[in-house]
Amino acid sequence: MTDALIAPPAVEAPPASWWRNAVIYQIYPRSFADSNGDGIGDLPGITGRLPYLRDLGVDAVWLSPFYSSPQADAGYDVADYRTVDPIFGTVADASELITGAHALGLRVIVDLVPNHSSEEHEWFRKALAGGPGSPFRERYHFRTGKGDNGELPPNDWPSIFGGPAWTRVADGEWYLHLFAAEQPDFNWEHPAVRDEFKTILRFWLDLGVDGFRVDVAHGLVKEDGLPDVGSHAEWHLLGVGESPCFDRDGVHEIYRDWRRILDEYPGERIAVAEAWAPSLARVSHYVRGDELHQAFNFSYLGTAWNVHEQWQIIDESLAAMRTVGAPTTWTLSNHDVVRHTTRLMQAGEGEVAGRKPAEVDQEAGLRRARAASALMLALPGSAYVYQGEELGLPEVIDLPPEVRQDPAFHRATGQDGYRDGCRVPIPWSGTAAPYGFGPDGGGSWLPQPDSWAGLSVAAQAGVDGSTLELYRAALAVRKAHPALAGTDNLRWVPAPAGVLAFERDGAENFRCTVNMGDQPVAVGRPGELLLASGPLDGTPDNVVLPPDTTAWWSI
């Protein structure tokens, strides 16, 4: 018998926990709701809109960073981890938001950015001021350069945002930054860094947060000696192969420490890893029983819209997480990728970053996005919804260069410079910008398209067939149907060509049927129709699914 034939050790059935099948709504604070008319969304704006999220039916929100920051990377460059940036409000506002959310039955997850700080962080300022040999330099990665006069970077690592991952300071030393130069990487071998983050965790846990989204969770530990990546430079950043700066085994010790802290608090506080690892098996390491709770499933996000690949990635994702008893997660959009209304229609759609979104037929894009969302929300595990996808917002592809703020756009034109297009502020109401995003006349930090009046919350609420009502209905069924409470109960069922179908067993069974082909397909009447992502054809006894349409049934 070979190893391959030996079944993996059985993992005990996991207990029911809120996060195992939670729908978590990502709020990008600067683009959600602006309370004071400066054109930038803020914490009081979010607090004011919490009833909308309760009515939508999500279980929790995840807030992208709102900490003190010079905003070189929209807040992913943190200067002080225990204060709120004045553009977003105060710690008291954060506390009010958390209390307000809890009162409505919503949990709150905040972003934690441990891989790097801002160049304005007190430690980095001391490191620069102290010069070579300063003990604060040891908390980051300072090195002398190569070449006769140290004029070359210490190694060949590229920054994810383009250009080298090293910047030289006035005294001649270089420091490492896997992202923008304003985001120096911490040295996680230094005990002060480890201690600092434990106290940051406790600060926010004490304030009442229900968990953390861990930014660049795979990047904290670098290989000893910072060896060159050599010919792998192209792909190592995308997490498709082994790399000296990502997914090192040493990182897991940090998460075991954090898990002990999370477990000290009542109410199941969680952490979700942003970990771009080379395989789902490697991703599963981050969610072993004594580490983090969830990891984003970027393999799923990047998968093309066809039966074979969707079946394969869903099956592999469930299998990989099952080996460690963790729930699988599903995401179609976030603040770093082209919105799926636009992305899923494109050729070469397997790629996530680094592409210019092309003009797509918006009607067709929306139809496919709705089918994809209905599929995602029918899967067992936890789903992440990015603000605005419930409105069917498309990627904004024609932002003029002068309004763009993504550092990637400015560091390397044409590389991954399109993250602004998914960050355009949300349309809430009205017929002209800022569409209720803030007070009239307040504007919005990125311009909203003229075509968004029909996509606002007010324009869609209560309207039969709107994308907002589709999400509301899907989330309501998800809560009510007995089979959808399961976290690992998916069973594939045979289906006609072009159609993906699965069932989930419960006191009543549930079936999801998705037509991913380009022809209408008759699927009969598998049971009671619960929901459809778009208009159906045929008769009640022989339903015909048009292309790019998902239907839910109770059987």
Q: Does 215 contact ligand GLC by CB under 6 A?
A: yes
- Nearest position to ligand GLC, beta carbon: 76
Known catalytic membership, residue 359: no
Residue 23 touches which member of Ca ion, ligand GLC, none, C-beta under 5-8 Å by kind: none
CA distance 222 to 489: 38
Known catalytic membership, residue 264: yes
Binding-site string for ligand GLC from residue 240 to residue 279, where x marks contact by CB under 6 A and - marks none: ----------------------------------x-----
Question: Interface with Ca ion by CB under 5 A: which range of 31-39, 145-153, 204-212, 542-550?
Answer: 31-39
430: nearest Cα among 445, 442, 414, 446: 442
C-beta neighbour count of 194 within 10 angstroms: 17
- Cβ closer to ligand GLC: 395 or 503? 395
Q: In the range 35-64, which residues lie near Ca ion by CB under 5 A? A: 36, 38, 40, 42
Residue 73 touches which member of ligand GLC, Ca ion, none, C-beta under 5-8 Å by kind: ligand GLC
461: nearest Cα among 391, 363, 394: 391
Write down the least CB distance from residue 158 to Ca ion, Å.
35
Q: Does 238 contact ligand GLC by CB under 6 A?
A: no
- Distance between the two ends of the chain, CA-based, in angstroms? 41
Q: Does 34 contact Ca ion by CB under 5 A?
A: yes
Q: The tokens of 443 are what?
A: 């504007």
Per-residue DSSP letters for 406-468?
-HHHHHSTTSSTTGGGG-SPPP-SSSSTTTTSSSTT---SSPPPGGGGGGSHHHHTT-TT-HH
Judge residue 265's burial from the number of C-beta atoms within 10 Å of its C-beta, 0-12 exposed, 13-18 middle, 19 or more buried: middle
H/E stretch holding 385:
strand 382-386
The residue within the footprint of ligand GLC, chosen from 34, 85, 336, 395 (CB under 6 A), is 336
Q: The tokens of 98 are what?
A: 């958390």
Give me the catalytic one of 224, 264, 290, 537: 264
- Cβ closer to Ca ion: 42 or 416? 42
- Cβ closer to ligand GLC: 58 or 237? 237
- Cβ closer to ligand GLC: 374 or 383? 383
C-beta neighbour count of 432 within 10 angstroms: 10
Rounded to the nearest 10°, the torsion over CA 541, 542, 548, 551 is 30
Write down the least CB distance from residue 42 to Ca ion, Å.
4
Write down the least CB distance from residue 408 to ligand GLC, Å.
8
The residue within the footprint of ligand GLC, chosen from 25, 32, 142, 179 (CB under 6 A), is 179
Contacts (Cβ under 8 Å, ≥6 apart) of 402 = none
CA distance 249 to 208: 31
CA distance 285 to 273: 11
Q: The tokens of 195 are what?
A: 């201690």
Give me the catalytic one of 59, 185, 210, 215: 215
Write down the least CB distance from residue 145 to ligand GLC, Å.
24
Q: The tokens of 9 are what?
A: 């050790």
Q: In the range 66-85, which residues lie near ligand GLC by CB under 6 A? A: 73, 76
Q: Does 216 contact ligand GLC by CB under 6 A?
A: yes
Write down the least CB distance from residue 274 to ligand GLC, Å.
6
- Cβ closer to ligand GLC: 80 or 268? 80
Between 191-207 and 251-264, two packed helices, what is the crossing angle to 10 degrees?
30
Q: Applying CB under 6 A, which residues contact ligand GLC?
A: 73, 76, 113, 179, 215-216, 274, 335-336
Q: Applying CB under 5 A, which residues contact Ca ion?
A: 34, 36, 38, 40, 42
